[in-house]
Every structure is written in C-alpha cells, then in structure tokens.
Chain A
C-alpha cells in the first residue's frame, strides 16, 4: 500500500432510500469512503447495516424501489449516479465488478460455466464466440480450476462449492475490472476453502493492481487480508481506519463492542459472552442524533441531540463518528 497509489472509487456522502407505498426510509446515510488501486478495503457491519446496499446502489443494481437520494460516486472522472442506465451498464464488469455471497445461487443453473463467462465477455467486447470461449478457458485456468478445457462446458451443479466461487471470480475478473467488490465471499464456504479463495483474490490483486473491497462480518478475515477498514452501523460509516489502527486503537464504541463479542482463546474458562445490549436498529424509526446511542456503553446526554458526522481523529486517515472518541478505550 503506497500513499501515491491513486484513488479509484470515491463515494461521497451517498444516501440511499427505499420508497414504498407507506414511507421513504433511508437505508444508507451520508456514506463516504474511497478505495485506492492495489489496496484491500474491508467493509464490516451487521446484516441490515447497509454495507452491501451501498455498493449495489452505487452500481445501479439495487432493487427497483431503492433509489440514490444524494451524494456522488466518482470513478475515473465519472459520477456514476449521474450516468444514464446504458452508460452505467458499460462500467459494470469492466470498471467495477461484484462477486456475491452464495456461489450456487449466483450461477445460472441452466447454462454451462463457459456460456456464462462468454456471455459476460461478449456483452462488452467484440469477440466471436470461439474467441470468447478460449478466453473463458484461460480465465478458468487463472483461477486454478483444474482441467479447464473440459470443465468449461460443465454446469454449476457439477462443481464443488469452492470451485463455483472460483468460477464466479473468473467471471468477475473477465473484463479486468479496476475494482472488485466481494460480498461475503466466504460465508457459504467451509474454512479450508475460504483460505484458498482469499489467497486467490490476494494473488489477483497483486498481479493486476486491482483494488479489492471485502464486505464481511468476519473480523478474522479483516485482520488477515485488509489494508483499511470501514465499519457500518444503521446505514452509516461509524469508523474508518487502517487495519492495524482499528484493531489496536478503535475509536468508536460500536467497534469496541464488536471486538468484545468475539470470544478469546486466552480468556479464563467460563467467561460469559458479552453481546451488544439492546435490539438492532429499526431503520424506519431511528432516534435523533447518534443511532448507536440506545446501546452505547459510553452514552452521554448530548448523544441524542448532536448531528452525526465523521470526525478526523489525530491519526492520519482514522475517522470516527463518535464525538466522544477520545474517551473510547479498548478493553474497558
């Protein structure tokens, strides 16, 4: 990771809301983050925190009733939120690519893997079917799928879980995107396979200088593979830092609470688990001020009335949404 590598994807103050018959509920509020080439940004948060939706909306593939209500998504001089659908379509897969959680459901069951990769290739490049097929075989080789000449004609159900995820990755890098967003890439896989898949992603990142966005709730993964981390809660980024800084000096109570919930092998036997008190936030009925206040161990009187925004803490590039951040101590 170098300071001079350029920013590829710059999301600024993005807000996304769902519009249905009864209401207009904001799901993502004022989210700002950026990814540089060659780096891995991890996005951490609970389900419903908006971490996946942010990127779906940025790419224009969120469900129909979910719309961007503010902010910009800058990629190489273009604001993705201002592009029309067909321009946006040409960016998807070529500039930015996304890999989803469950490889079995992410692959079309009635077409062979090869056909699906060819489909993606020919959607953007003027290739003949034969050329595309050759490229597909190369891609399968690149992701270490054995015997690619034969397997290119196999169907998804004929692959094992780990190989399916690799095939998906092959599809995602087919057009050599600058940014690859991996949404929970290992949740559906068992542990040994998880390691291989992440190894593959790291390798690809090194080979191509591609940036990797890892959306996950697995902190172990974050510790091992990420360069920087952004923590989401209730549709906002509550903390953003380099990975070492986040783990050694968390500056938001939510982050601290998250770390506390992980049982440690070196703690005494019979130590009780420490969950985060309270209920997950109801996005339709968020309280005034800080959304984490109802569950925060550090809550003060002014927390429910102060506007929330990301504050620069004294460290470089370590942002926190808690205006009492100096009092956040790990382990207390």
Chain B
C-alpha cells in the first residue's frame, strides 16, 4: 500500500504525462510547431542560408526567371528573390515575437488588474479597451503607422497596439470568472495580498486561453504587417519583408509571377503554422470535451 505522498507523486506524474500525450497526440499542433521551428531556424541561419545578400542589386540581372543561380529568379533591381525571402523570415518572426510578448505581458497585467480588482478601474479599462477594439485591427495599425512614419519599430508598435486589446479582454473575462471562486477567498483569508493572489493564482489559471488568443493575434499581426508593407506604409525597402516583396512583384506579375506568389506562400506558411498551434492549443487545453463524453455513460 503506497503512502499518500507517494500516491501524490504518482498522480502528478500521471497527470503530466496525460497532458503531454494530449499535446503530442494532436497532429495539427505538432505540424504547426514543426513549421514554426523550421521558420525560426531559417531566420536565425539566414545570413548563411541565403545564397546572396538580400540587398545586392545588379542592373544587368533584373527580372530573371528561375534558374540554378537564382532558384526563384530576381526582382526589378536584380536582387535574388530567394535570399530576400529567407531574410524576410526575420522580420515576420520579429513581428510575431514582439506582438506575442508585448500583448501577453501588457494584456495579462492590465486585463488581470481590471478583472480582478473590479470597480472603477475595471470600468475605465473596459471602456477604453472596447473603444480600441471597435477599430478593425488593421485599420488601427494603419492609422498609427500613418502618423508615426514607416519603419520596423513603428510597425511593431502599431500592430502590438492594434492586437493587445483582444488579449486584455480575454484576460479580464477569465479573471472575472476566477475572482468569485472559493480558493481566492481562502487565499485572502490567510492574508495574501491582492498582488500575490493575482500573480500566483489568477494569472496562471488564466494563461491557457490567453496564450491561445495571443497566438492567434500573432497570426493576424503578421498578416497586418504584410498588408502595411504591401501598401508601402510598413517596413520600407531595401529591408526585405514578405509584404513588400509581394508589392515588388506586383508590377511584373504577368512576366515573373514567382516573386509575388512565393512570398505569399511564405506568409501563408507562417500564418498557417500559428493558426494550427493556436487551434491545437485551444483543443488540447479544453477540458469541456472530456466532460461532455462523461455524461453519456
């Protein structure tokens, strides 16, 4: 007969491996993660992976078709498209990374404070957040970039501001459901300060849905950056980003479709990966499905 401590350890182990199995058993989650990891590797290894410098122009080699020297051809300035695409991975990953990080950090703090403390603070934050969410995300990012000028930094800031309100809203609503729970009251009764409760209880419990929202926001953020760069308002050439490569290829779409097509496929690959991860996380972390099947027996 095992002791109760021994039993607890076994239980914890069983739970952890059950959770792990839920992740690895989910094909779309695995595929998404693999794609994303591949893209990270490409971005990190870009200077070594890319056959040419992405900004190296050549006036004689403009608008070449695909060849062994240039597997995806060259653009209107003679730059190798493949190299530009590889380097473009960096920008997209940077945007994704910053948007997720900023929205998670700012979103959980603001949303947690609003949902947990309630009252005036909550109402104030909620009103401002609702107003920000009333703007379509891309439009808000566009407006911010229009006023702040086009650069990688302003794009990242603009997109983060545009997509953080979502995270705040989710965090807040989860915090609202956690607040009345008995274990929170219990924590208070033993003298825990609100800050500690927020950090140790509310936020960890709220993380799963918040992470899902942040991941899906990152997907929207990449599409937004691409759109901004395509319009010429985002990251400016010669820095290669998938969005402005599509724009470069637009003029020659009939003669050299590869330029725009291939950069679009890159964007899609990263966004699909993020969507798969977000969807997969949401399914894997959703206990409701398990509850539903239990009812029948």
Contacts and interface: CB of A to CB of B under 8 A. Distances in A.
| A and B in contact, CB less than 8 Å | yes
Interface of A: 27, 47-50, 52-53, 56, 62-63, 66
Contacts of A50: 297
A103 to B, nearest CB: 15
15 contacts: A27-B297, A47-B294, A47-B297, A48-B297, A49-B297, A50-B297, A52-B296, A52-B297, A53-B296, A53-B297, A56-B296, A62-B296, A63-B293, A63-B296, A66-B296
A53 B293 CA distance: 12
A205 to B, nearest CB: 26
Given A52-B296, A62-B296, 12 more contacts: A27-B297, A47-B294, A47-B297, A48-B297, A49-B297, A50-B297, A52-B297, A53-B296, A53-B297, A63-B293, A63-B296, A66-B296
Contacts of A63: 293, 296
Nearest to A235: B297
A64 to B, nearest CB: 12
Contacts of B296: 52-53, 56, 62-63, 66
Interface of B: 293-294, 296-297
A47 B297 CA distance: 6
Contacts of A49: 297
A201 to B, nearest CB: 22
Nearest to A56: B296
Contacts of B293: 63
Nearest to A21: B25
A66 to B, nearest CB: 8
A240 B157 CA distance: 72
Nearest to A46: B297
A47 B296 CA distance: 9
A213 B155 CA distance: 67
A49 B296 CA distance: 10
Most buried by A among B293, B294, B296: B296
Nearest to B295: A101
Nearest to A283: B297
A24 B150 CA distance: 60
A66 B296 CA distance: 11
Per CB-CB distance, the 6 closest pairs between chain A and chain B, nearest first, are A48-B297, A53-B297, A47-B297, A53-B296, A63-B296, A52-B296
Nearest to A28: B297
A66 B293 CA distance: 11
Nearest to A101: B295
A52 B297 CA distance: 6
A108 B57 CA distance: 67
Contacts of A47: 294, 297
Nearest to B25: A21
A56 B295 CA distance: 12
A112 to B, nearest CB: 26
A63 B292 CA distance: 11
A84 B294 CA distance: 28
Contacts of B294: 47
Nearest to A50: B297
A48 B293 CA distance: 11
A97 B296 CA distance: 17
A43 B293 CA distance: 21
Nearest to A65: B293
Contacts of A52: 296-297
A65 to B, nearest CB: 10
A33 to B, nearest CB: 18
Contacts of A48: 297
Nearest to B292: A63
A56 B296 CA distance: 9
Contacts of A66: 296
